[in-house]
Amino acid sequence: MMDEAVLARVRERLRGATSVCAFTGAGMSAESGIATFRDALTGLWARFDPAQLASEEGFRDDPARAWAWYAERRAGVRAAEPNAGHHALAAFARRHPGRLTVVSQNVDDLHQRAGNTDTVRLHGDMLADRWLQRCPRAQACDPADAAPGTPPRCAECGNLVRPGVVWFGEVLPGAAFDAAERAVRGCGVLLVVGTSGAVWPAAGLVSLARMAGAHVVIVNPQPSEIDDEADELVAGTAAEVLPALLDTL
Ligand code: APR
């Protein structure tokens, strides 16, 4: 049961904030049926070794296995629907143009399908294809034209297609991280929704926001590794809490 007093305090803060940032993780999509990474019982990593599936080394080691895992996850994302939490954020953005920035660690497209099409993608887009190697041609080939396979590959040079996500050990896209830093530094309220705070540098955005004066609100049914950065902890799920916080604003 959500604590109504906490919700009322956070709504009051949101009313007074000219700029709001929502920083989301896998828990944001959990109620859409997409498994999180670290939840003990359901988390994907509980069944897989991350290094084997979400790293360049793991992909090169067994491209077919990694590609099959991503194909399964892609099918899950395509079959999923944005949940009430995604819709609450998108509706708030429609009612208050320019006031909300969504920064997500998620590689699904649920924020975008709900309407937050300008979501900052810190860890890339799992539904996008890219080449494993840089294409040697002056006019790079399009991965969409790759020959079918698991994974698809360039019929000319054998280059493999990989998903457009940031793998363990890879740097985050500079433009996205810069946009995320600007958003968290400039917001009056940072809503941190559905993240364990276990993965850096993304998790560091929360302390950056706090140092810049943002009021930090963590929405999570469980404790997270960044709870000590929070001004308010709202114990609840994205699909329950976000409508309760945003729908009347
Ligand atoms: N609503 C809100 N939070 C939820 C819900 C829900 N319905 N269900 C689970 N959670 C919380 C869990 O309590 C947990 O704290 O979501 C969090 C999910 O944590 P992780 O699985 O670690 O996902 P995330 O924090 O997004 O991981 C960060 O790690 O593996 C990399 O690139 C991957 O982007 C990912 C990054």
Domain boundaries, the chain: 1-33+81-123+172-249, 35-79+127-165
pLDDT tens digits, one per residue of 160-218: 999 999 999 999 999 999 999 999 999 999 999 999 999 999 999 999 999 999 999 99
Q: How far is the CA of 36 from the centre of ligand 1 (A)?
A: 5
Torsion, Cα 64 196 123 232, to 10 degrees, reads 160
The answer, yes or no, to whether any atom of ligand 1 lies below 6 A from the CB of 105, is: yes
pLDDT tens digits, one per residue of 120-173: 999 999 999 999 999 988 898 999 999 999 999 999 899 999 999 999 999 999
CATH architecture of 1-33+81-123+172-249: 3-Layer(aba) Sandwich (3.40)
The answer to whether domain 1-33+81-123+172-249 and domain 35-79+127-165 are alike in fold is no
Evaluate if residue 41 carries a pLDDT over 60: no
* Least confident interval from 32-41, 56-65, 180-189: 32-41
Residue 87 is among the residues annotated as catalytic for this protein: no
Q: Which amino acid is at 200?
A: W
8 A C-beta contact, residue 23 and residue 196? no
Q: How much is the pLDDT for 193?
A: 98
pLDDT top residue among 72 and 122 = 122
pLDDT top residue among 123 and 42 = 123
E strands, the chain, are 20-24, 100-104, 120-121, 124-131, 161-165, 189-193, 215-219, 232-234
What CATH class has 35-79+127-165? Answer: alpha beta
Interatomic CA distance for residues 46 and 44, integer angstroms: 5
Q: How far is the CA of 226 from the centre of ligand 1 (A)?
A: 12
pLDDT top residue among 182 and 51 = 182
The answer, yes or no, to whether any atom of ligand 1 lies below 6 A from the CB of 27, is: yes
Q: How much is the pLDDT for 210?
A: 98
The answer, yes or no, to whether any atom of ligand 1 lies below 6 A from the CB of 84, is: no
Q: How far is the CA of 11 from the centre of ligand 1 (A)?
A: 24
The residue-averaged pLDDT of 2-29 equals 97
What mean pLDDT, rounded, does the chain reach? 94
Interatomic CA distance for residues 60 and 169, integer angstroms: 14
